[in-house]
Structure 1
Amino acid sequence: MIVVLEDWKKTKMTTAISIEDVRREVKILKALSGHKHLVKFYDACEDANNVYIVMELCEGGELLDRILARGGRYTEEDAKAILVQILSVVSFCHLQGVVHRDLKPENFLFTSGGENADMKLIDFGLSDFIRPDERLNDIVGSAYYVAPEVLHRSYSMEADIWSIGVITYILLCGSRPFWARTESGIFRSVLRSDPNFDDMPWPSVSPEAKDFVKRLLNKDYRKRMTSVQALAHPWLRDDSRPIPLDILIYRLLKSYLHASPFKRAALKALSKALTEDELVYLRAQFRLLEPNRDGSVSLENFKMALAQNATEAMGESRVPDILNAMGLLAYRKMYFEEFCAAAISTHQLEAVEGWEQIASAAFEHFEQEGNRVISIEELARELSVGPSAYSFLKDWIRISDGKLNLLGYKKILHGVTFRSSNTRLH
């Protein structure tokens, strides 16, 4: 067995923070284990002067070097082979409650020089444990790959997805989606500019590949795909490759269980209008919960699915705590139809090209099964807004019968934020 020894001189770690960063990296590498695309950690120790980390040796060089050796871009098929490995290891990290925060081609190494060598994710120096509903606020990472919400100092795992979107863009066209001469210029571009999909070679790139990149590089982090959803995207989908468990379904289930009956009825109507592309992912997630003989799942299924995927990292980031907020499932069963209603994100669906058609079809179901007379006061309570919003809300209720119109239905699904300072609802 050949290993590499990473040697950190304490004298060069000028602050207590940098020493703590190395210790946290060791802790994360120790806690995360068992994924084929994660660099193997063997041991770590320190003496008075140095910190030593013993890891697997990867002799095939960086992904960046291979991109440059190819003249800057990959064919779609070759890019897919790279991205499946990246998404696979990142989805593993995210399920364990670890956010990498520095995903870039330099941090993926090939095990050997062979054309089909496996890649390994390295460098967890900026990584951190994160609870399912936690937001981080420190600006870290590499400028070209940093997500907009990181610059706004409120982010979670979706920031890693943005970085994968940047890597994908580079693989497919050979240039960066956001560029400037200075770091502040790059940050401005990330916040304000949209990636260019008009210049060569984009006209010859498949519509599925372009959709894939756009669904990762959405400036609204709530609309981005998760790494698991990206693996189930039509561009990458492979029925012979298993799709891993997604922590997102736990977060969505928690929200659904605590939603009002009216909101749940709206989501049930939406679930009946889903396309096959969404259902592929939902079926895979439901199967991973190992439904009971009658086809239902309960809290125990969600517990077991997490336990089967657990490493020490999952406990460190307190991922299983989310089960405490799903206690209502201990006393009831959930079948696939309701699971679809509970495990869909309206924000993500809004980023899909056919969203307006999906919403209109869902509203027809809602008209038949969920829509009812609702007062402005009750609608305000449903949306958690005050009397100052009444003037807006009246436009979302039909005068003819006092029920929600299509716009009101979409607002119930999406939720609203109301800022009295500029009286804006969105």
Structure 2
Amino acid sequence: MGLCYGKNVSVTEGGDADKRRHGKGGEVTGSPSPATPASKSRTGGITPSHSSTSTASASPYPQGFASPLPAGVSPSPARSTPRRFLRPFPPPSPAKHIRAAIAKRLGPPKPKEGPIPEDEAGEEETPLDKNFGYGKNFGAKYELGKEVGRGHFGHTCSATAKKGEIKGQLVAVKIISKAKMTTPISIEDVRREVKILKALSNHNNLVKFYDACEDALNVYVVMELCEGGELLERILSRGGRYSEEDAKAIVIQILSVIAFCHLQGVVHRDLKPENFLFTTRDENAQMKLIDFGLSDFVKPDERLNDIVGSAYYVAPEVLHRSYSMEADIWSIGVITYILLCGSRPFWARTESGIFRAVLRADPNFVDSPWPDVSPEAKDFVKRLLNKDYRKRMTAAQSLTHPWLRDEHCQVPLDILIFKLVKSYLRATPLKRAALKALSKALTEDQLFYLRSQFKLLAPNGEGHISFDNFRMALLQNATEAMKESKVIDILNVLEPLSYRKMDFEEFCAAAISPHHLEALDGWEQMTSTAFEHFEREGNRAITVKELAQELSLPATNYSVLRSWIRPEDCKFNFLGYTRYLHGVTIRSANTRHR
């Protein structure tokens, strides 16, 4: 397991291989060759050097450098590269296709210099339109100061506003070179980043956007200047890890801003310690999320398929090319793991090795300092680093976890509630009865989260909620991003609540996710209790054909469904009840049948 001393390996497939950073001038994120020697990163860290021991125990420290951990504490072994992966015929590299995507984004490599053949007429390329429609008067509005960062696409400078509402104020200006926008995708990346920064507003942990200008050479993105340095720098300055209490303060800020982004329908896709800046050097300074160069708007129920992000923080489902907001939650889990122990949960010497670890390996919660970490903190991290994205907590839900819970802090509105209620309203009466039985087995921990969401929908202490409550709660949190991501359209499917109201008991049934509950240690006891309620109040006779039609399964899967139903009364047995809660796909049904 590599300590957080190495340079981040960033990946892009249909995302932003030409990374642009606020405060760092815009690094290129690419796929380094495994043969590339260790080199210094821009943060002062050094890529992990090779050890004479096995891959599983590679030293995370450069040769000649002392470990930053306290005396007597050794780094955890790199469980992310177990020996079983080092076999004669390894599976295809998950990173293999990424290089082609980088070329697509950055354009083909420049040809070697040489004479141009006179007998071959080259095809004339259509020039790229690099006119963004931004203001042309940057020089009249801002006076550039010193450079604060440099990267592939340009650099970032401090500047002073010469006019307008922020006259006299120091700002950060990301200067993006148009000459390096060599593909339509790279141009669209810049356009989308500015659009997202404009659309998102009014959150304390989000970098403020002020302006966007352009001239013939550059695009200028004017933002809040954060002079306190990166979260990564602070982790390193603390010897690689935070205390639990200090880690909580960081994680709460991260979850708060991501819950806000997700509610607006924006997925960040590149959460890592380098993308959180502190406003000042003060120890308790506020933290700001930056760099939306890889971010995108995501419609309700939409799955994204382009592989983007930084290798150490990328979620498994991103590598499988089907993901949504849960990918950000995984990245927060990686950050939290690093904060608590100073090591990455998934580490390898190569990009492909990192990806294999993310897909197959489990984080190490055994070695020091984990025995001294509270059970609540370990449970929190494990629930974020669940490889099944359906079982991860949402950002808003994470803030109600026992490790972070504060009854005096308001929990943000969770977009997942709207999606679950939508599914509940579309469900059959039998499915609703099954969910109601499950809701009666909830513990106080799960009810705390549901009560917090119910209060947000019914702020005046009303005992019922209706369509108007959902509409008002969403509109009170709306920004321009909601229009772009079509999140507001989710209200259309909540229309049935215009004609009736939902009390808290029914809300609990509508707003629970069986997948989330299945991740809990007490799932078996919970479903056992729920099935007792279901037997008394909701279990009814159903034929295999009816069940197959409800689940949209073909007749070839009837044999699987027969095991769910008791032959004596044609009602669900316990196995059938638990399977029915989840639903079943043709693929999973066939797998079980084999």
Instruction: Give TM-score, length-normalised by structure 2.
Output: 0.70
**In the TM superposition, what is the alpha-carbon distance from 1:215 to its structure 2 partner?**
0.7
Deviations 1:44-81 (A, max 9, x none): 11111100011111111000000011111111111000
The match for 1:164 is 332
User: Residue 194 of structure 1: CA displacement?
Assistant: 1.0
Confirm whether residue 359 of structure 1 aligns to residue 527 of structure 2. yes
Alignment match, 1:250: 418
2:386 aligned with 1:218, yes or no?
yes
Match of 1:368 among 536, 544, 548: 536
| CA deviation profile, 1:308-352 (whole Å, cap 9, x unmatched) | 001111111111111111221111111110000000000111001
SS in 2 for 1:396: coil
Matched-pair contact (CA < 8 Å) for 1:417–1:425 = no
> Is this contact kept in 2: 1:38–1:89, CA < 8 A?
yes
Aligned to 1:96: 264
**Residue by residue, what CA displacement relative to the aligned partner does 1:149-174 show, whole Å, maximum 9, x if unpaired?**
11111111110000000001111111
Distance 1:4 1:419, change over 3 A: closer
The residue identity in structure 2 corresponding to 1:311 is: T
Residue 565 of structure 2 contacts residue 572 of structure 2 at CA under 8 Å; is this kept in 1?
yes
Q: What does residue 342 of structure 1 align with? A: 510
Q: Out of 353-362 and 18-27, give the one that drifted further.
A: 18-27
Q: Does 1:179 align with 2:347?
A: yes
Partner of 2:48: none
For residue 245 of structure 2, what is the aligned residue in structure 1? 77
The residue that corresponds to 1:395 in the other structure is 563
The reply on whether 1:202 has 2:398 as its aligned counterpart is: no
Question: Does residue 384 of the first structure (1) align with residue 517 of the second (2)?
Answer: no
Report the 3-state secondary structure (helix = DSSP H, G, I; strand = E; otherwise coil) of the residue aligned with 2:471: helix
Q: What does 1:171-320 correspond to in 2, within 5 Å?
A: 171-290=339-458, 295-320=463-488
- Secondary structure of 2:539's match? coil
Matched, 1:109 2:283: no
Secondary structure in structure 1 of the residue aligned to 2:283: coil
- Report deviation, 1:399: 3.3
Q: Give CA-to-partner distance per residue, 1:117-137, whole Å, 9 cap, x none.
A: 000000000111111111111
Shift of 1:422: 4.9
Counterpart code for 1:61: G
Pair 1:134 & 2:290 matched:
no
Tell whether 2:145 aligns with 1:145: no
Tell me which amino acid in the other structure corresponds to 1:133. Answer: D
Q: Which moved more, 1:283-292 or 1:65-74?
A: 283-292
Structure 1 residues 72 and 203 mapped into 2: Cα distance closer, same or farther (>3 Å)?
A: same
- Hey, what's the Cα distance between the residues in 2 that align with 1:148 and 1:154? 9
- Once residues 148 and 420 of structure 1 are traced to their aligned partners in structure 2, the CA distance between those partners, rounded to angstroms, is 19
Shift of 1:186: 0.6
**SS of equivalent residue, structure 2 residue 293:** coil
Q: How far apart, in 2, do the equivalents of 1:283 and 1:78 lie?
A: 27
Question: Do the aligned partners of residues 108 and 420 (structure 1) sit closer, same or farther apart at CA in structure 2, a change above 3 Å counting?
Answer: closer
Q: Provide runs of 4+ in structure 1 moved above 4 Å.
A: 291-294, 420-423
Of 402-411 and 238-247, more deviation after overlay is shown by 402-411
Asked whether the equivalents of residues 418 and 425 of structure 1 are also in contact (C-alpha less than 8 Å), the reply is no
Please say if 1:45 is aligned against 2:213. yes
* Equivalent pair of 2:174/2:220 in contact (CA under 8 Å): yes
- Cα pair 2:557 2:590 within 8 Å, conserved: no
Q: Answer yes or no: is 1:407 the counterpart of 2:582.
A: no
Counterpart CA distance in 2 for 1:174 and 1:393 is 48
- TM-score normalised to structure 1 length: 0.97
Contact 2:557 2:589 in 1 (8 A): no
Amino acid at match of 2:528: S
The corresponding residue for 1:23 is: 191
Deviation at 1:425, TM superposition (A): 5.6
Which secondary structure state, in structure 2, belongs to the residue aligned with residue 109 of structure 1?
strand
CA contact (8 A) 1:291 1:297 kept: no
Q: Aligned pairs, how many?
A: 426
Larger radius of gyration: 2
In 1, Cα distance between equivalents of 2:293 and 2:513: 32
- 1:4 corresponds, among 158, 172, 180, to 172
Cα 1:113–1:301, aligned 2, differ >3 Å: closer, same or farther?
same
Whole-Å Cα distance in 1 between the matches of residues 297 and 570 of structure 2?
Answer: 48
Deviation per CA, 1:191-215, whole angstroms, max 9, x where unpaired?
A: 1111111111111111111110011
Change in Cα spacing, 1:8 to 1:80, as seen in structure 2 (3 Å) is same
CA distance in 2 between counterparts of 1:420 and 1:370 reads 26
CA deviation after TM superposition for structure 1 residue 408, in Å: 0.7
Match of 1:234, as an amino acid?
P
Letter in 2 for 1:250: F
> Whole-Å Cα distance in 2 between the matches of residues 261 and 308 of structure 1?
32
SS in 2 for 1:140: strand
Q: What residue ranges of structure 2 are gaps of 5+ in the alignment?
A: 1-168
Distance of 1:229 and 1:251 partners within structure 2? 14
Q: CA deviation at 1:297?
A: 1.0
**2:253–2:287 CA contact under 8 A, matched in 1:** yes
The 3-state SS of whatever aligns with 1:283 is helix
CA contact (8 A) 1:388 1:420 kept: no
Instruction: Determine the C-alpha separation between the residues in 1 that align with 2:591 and 2:264.
Output: 40
Taking the aligned partners of 2:186 and 2:562, their CA distance within structure 1 comes to 55
* 1:32 aligned onto 2:200: yes
Per the alignment, in what secondary structure is the counterpart of residue 101 of structure 1?
Answer: coil
One of 173, 182, 189 as aligned partner of 1:14: 182
Cα separation, partners in 2 of 1:183 and 1:13, compared to 1, 3 Å: same
Which structure is higher in helix share? 1
Contact 2:275 2:291 in 1 (8 A): yes
Q: Deviations over 1:253-299 (max 9, x none)?
A: 11000000000000000010001111111011111112677521111
Give the distance between the partners of 2:591 and 2:394, measured in 1 at CA.
Answer: 33
Do the aligned residues in 2 keep the contact of 1:252 with 1:344 (CA within 8 Å)?
yes
What is the alpha-carbon root mean square deviation over aligned residues? 1.5
Gaps of 5+ in 1: none
Distance 1:355 1:25 in 2: 41
Instruction: Describe the superposition over 1:350-381 as per-residue Cα deviations: whole angstroms up to 9, x where unpaired.
Output: 00111111110111111110012222222222
Aligned mates of 1:117, 1:293 — CA distance in 2: 35
Cα pair 2:560 2:589 within 8 Å, conserved? no
